[in-house]
Structures are given as C-alpha cells and as structure tokens.
C-alpha cells in the first residue's frame, strides 16, 4: 500500500528540516482528514531495521488538538493494542509524530472473508484497546475501521488517531466552547425536542448500495403528523410554545439558544446521544462506534449506516433498534424524541445473517474455502448478537462497558 509521493516528501523535508538528518522517507502509507502518514527508516543506523510511520499533521490543526493527541499517545500508547509513539518533531507550524510502523490490511478487503473466530478475535482486541483508553477516562471519539489497524497475517492490532480524543487530562476545547455557550437558565434549548421522520421501508438484502436502510425526506403529510401534538406518547406540554404545530416560528423559539454538544467523529459511527446533542457524553460513545463496526462485520456491510445528516442517521438507528427503546433512551438523557410512526426492532441475527450470506456469495464465489466460511457463519450462536445489542444500547447509561464486554460469554466461552 505504499504510494510514491516524491513531491509531498520533499515538501515535508522542507517543512521539518530536522527530519532529513534522521530519516529517509520512502513513500506515503496512509492519510486521514487531518494528516498524511509516511513510511521511513533511520538514516545513520543501518543496523536498525525497524521502520517508522511519520504522521505529518496538517498545519491548520489547532495546537491544542495536536497536544491532546500527543498527551494521549504518551500516556496510554504502547500497550493493549494502542499504538506507541517514539518521537515528536516540530518546526514552526509543522508537527510530525514518529510511531512504529504498523503494516495493516484494509477493512473492505477482509470484511467479506472474515471467519467467525477471526471476527471474535478482532472484536476482543478492539475492546482490549478501548478498555485501556477508557481506564484513563479518555474518549477516543473516532472509533472506526481506518483507526483500528489490523494485520491479518500476524494477528496484530493497533488503535491509532487520538486527534479527536477528549478526557480529563486533555485540553477539551469542546468543553470550553460548551461552558461559554450553554444557557444557565430559562427556556430549554430549541433542540431538546427531536423530530424524526421514519420511512417504513424494511431492509433489503439485495440492495447493491452499501447502506441498507434508506431514510426518505419527510413528506408534507409526515411533517404534519410530526407537528400534531396530541396522541403522541412522548408529548410533553411543558415544552410546547406558541408556534408548536404552526408554520411559523414564534419569538419564544427564536430567542432559544441552540444546544451545543461535542459531535467530533465520523458520520455513521456517531452514537444516538451524540446525534441528539447530549452534553454529558462519556466513554460509551466509543462502545457505540465499536458496536457499529461489529454490526458491519456480522452483516458484511460497510458502511452500515449512510444518511445525509444527523437526523437521517438517527432515523436509520431507530429503524434497526425500534422506536420504543430509542424514545426511552432519549428521555433518559433529557430529550424528547417525536417519531412520525412507531417501528418495531429488527431481529439483528436474522438481518445480519441474511445480509452476510447475500454479500458473501457475491464477493467470494463458490470455492470450497468459501463454503467453509458460509457454513460457520450459518452455525453462529446467539452470543455475538447478545453482545451486539448491549453495545448498541441507545441509552449511554446502560450501554455495556469495554471491561464488561470482555467478560461476555461470547469471549469467555470460546
Ligand atoms: P487522521 O487523524 O488524519 O485520520 P490517522 O492517525 O488515522 O490520521 O492516520 C491516517 C492513516 O494512516 C490511518 O488510517 C492508517 O491507514 C495510517 N497509519 C496511521 N498510523 C499508522 C502506523 N503507525 N503505521 C502504519 N500506518 C499508519
Ligand atoms: Mg484517522
């Protein structure tokens, strides 16, 4: 996966001149929204065969973010599947982290051919990394396959990318922002009531697109239904103002502050509490994201959720988990979830098995090796699905922790 990038490498040598004294950079091995990562070797020690990953952080990144990431890696890196850091070089506004190289496979390349034992090992190692991170009360905030590196041949794992992490010993810029903008008294924020239009479409295993659930834009009829205040189970008159159900926004609502809550992370992996702008987010947000990875593995669909905006993602989550637990979870974090219609939860095991079977036959063909994998997925017990539902608990207060998940029979009975 080594991409030649001579121009970029020369720019990097110029940006941080000290690099050229120590490293010869070979190629680009990865990139994300906030960095480019290069493969390098030590220059003056030919006996050192070890290779390094140089993460060049885009210079527009706020210094406190960079310091956060560095703090995290220094404090928790180097054990329990969390990547280590060896060195950090800075020249003016350019910062480079030097980490051990971790050669890895691409999620989309192994997703379809995952064996059942391999899937369990993968999830176990992800949870081991999360247990380590959460021991420090740090939220990673960007758990997704491209940040959890897996070397399939060596059965090794590495959690990377603490660029969005937040926690007690870190400079939490989101928290700062919140302190400045959160209302102290008065009317509830304008978005403590969340309206979601659900499309009644069921999952479609033959769907060629990666997303299985589609959320239609609410029709006028659905919008009207959402605005109807009576007959709704989660209707609470204390939060209704003059304009509720009307086409115009009243002065009371215009004056209401917007809720501001951390929403760093990647679309499709954000937990319900992040999507609903809950301000007291904790480490449970990472467990949710790990649960979404688990859902992708069990169903061989990646990405599993795909929508246009936060409410669209919420709608897809509700169509999988059912309205009842989501309305209750919302209420436990002080939100009112108004739905266009009630929906039943889907049977996770039936859905995932169906999706995985259809996907595997398309991607893997009919070889005997494939038949073996299909057989093992068909014979899958209920345990992974029990754990999955506990990781995808919409209520962050009852969602399973990494520690408890590692003691789940899915892992302990194997
Ligand atoms: P960003 O904050 O820009 O997402 P990441 O830390 O996630 O940066 O790194 C971007 C990509 O670079 C990763 O998805 C991965 O493919 C690759 N990468 C990061 N760290 C390493 C490493 N130590 N060894 C090998 N590849 C790495
Ligand atoms: Mg990343």
- Distance, in Å, from the CA atom of 132 to the CA atom of 112, rounded to the nearest integer, reads 29
Give the residues across from 156 on adjacent strands. 151
> Two tokens at 225?
């239904």
ipTM: 0.99
Q: Which residues line ligand 1 (CB under 6 A)?
A: 29-35, 37, 53, 55, 83, 99, 101-102, 146-147, 160-161, 163
- pLDDT reported for residue 184: 44
Residue 322 region by backbone torsions, left for phi larger than 0, else alpha for psi between -120 and 50, else beta:
left
- For the chain, residues with pLDDT lower than 50 are 178-179, 181-185, 205-218, 228-236
Q: Which of 54, 55, 84, 107 to mutate to test the pocket of ligand 1 (most atoms within 8 A of CB)?
A: 55
Look at residue 254 in the predicted model and tell me its pLDDT.
77
CA distance readout (Å), 205 to 177, 267, 295: 43, 22, 14
pLDDT score of 175? 53
Closest of 118, 121, 117, 141 to residue 68, by C-alpha: 141
State how far the Cα of 404 lies from the Cα of 278, in Å rounded to an integer. 24
Question: What distance in Å separates the CA atoms of residue 245 and residue 229, rounded to the nearest whole number?
Answer: 7
Terminal Cα distance for the chain, rounded:
34
Q: How far is the CA of 172 from the centre of ligand 2 (A)?
A: 19
242 carries an active-site annotation? no
Predicted local confidence at residue 205, as pLDDT: 47
pLDDT at 268: 97
Backbone angles phi, psi at 239, to 5 degrees: -105, 10
Ligand 1: distance of its center to the CA of 147 in Å? 7
Does residue 49 have a known ligand-binding role? no
Q: CB-side exposure of 273: number of CA atoms within 13 Å?
A: 28
Select which of 93, 117, 142, 404 is catalytic.
142
Half-sphere exposure of 71 (CA within 13 A, CB side): 18
Q: What is the reported pLDDT for 44? A: 92
């Amino acid at each position: 996966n080594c991409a030649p990038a001579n121009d970029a490498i020369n720019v990097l040598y110029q940006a941080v001149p000290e690099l050229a004294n120590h490293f010869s950079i070979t190629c680009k091995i990865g990139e994300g929204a906030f960095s480019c990562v290069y493969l390098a070797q030590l220059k003056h020690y030919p006996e050192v065969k070890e290779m390094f990953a140089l993460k060049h952080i885009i210079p527009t990144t706020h210094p406190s973010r960079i310091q956060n990431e560095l703090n995290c890696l220094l404090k928790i890196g180097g054990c329990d599947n969390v990547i280590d850091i060896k060195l950090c070089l800075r020249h003016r506004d350019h910062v480079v982290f030097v980490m051990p190289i971790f050669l890895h496979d691409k999620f989309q390349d192994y997703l379809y051919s995952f064996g059942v034992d391999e899937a369990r090992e993968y999830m176990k190692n992800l949870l081991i990394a999360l247990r380590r991170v959460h021991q420090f009360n740090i939220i990673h905030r960007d758990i997704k396959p491209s940040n959890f590196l897996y070397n399939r041949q060596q059965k090794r794992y590495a959690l990377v990318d603490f660029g969005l992490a937040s926690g007690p010993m870190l400079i939490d810029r989101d928290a700062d922002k919140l302190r400045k903008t959160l209302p102290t008294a008065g009317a509830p924020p304008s978005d403590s009531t969340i309206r979601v239009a659900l499309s009644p479409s069921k999952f479609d295993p033959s769907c060629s697109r990666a997303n299985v659930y589609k959320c239609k834009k609410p029709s006028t009829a659905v919008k009207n239904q959402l605005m109807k205040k009576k007959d709704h189970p989660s209707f609470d008159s204390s939060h209704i103002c003059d304009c509720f159900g009307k086409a115009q926004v009243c002065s009371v609502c215009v004056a209401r502050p917007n809720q501001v809550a951390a929403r760093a992370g990647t679309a499709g992996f954000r937990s319900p509490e992040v999507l609903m702008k809950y301000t007291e987010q904790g480490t449970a947000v990472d467990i949710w994201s790990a649960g979404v990875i688990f859902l992708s593995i069990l169903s061989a669909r990646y990405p599993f959720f795909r929508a246009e905006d936060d409410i669209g993602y919420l709608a897809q989550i509700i169509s999988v988990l059912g309205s009842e637990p989501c309305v209750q979870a919302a209420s436990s974090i002080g939100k009112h979830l108004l739905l266009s219609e009630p929906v039943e939860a889907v049977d996770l095991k039936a859905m995932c098995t169906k999706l995985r079977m259809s996907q595997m036959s398309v991607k893997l063909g009919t070889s005997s090796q494939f038949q073996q994998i299909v057989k093992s997925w068909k014979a899958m017990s209920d345990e992974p699905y029990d754990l999955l539902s506990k990781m995808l608990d919409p209520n962050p207060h009852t969602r399973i922790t990494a520690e408890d998940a590692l003691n789940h029979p899915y892992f302990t009975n194997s």
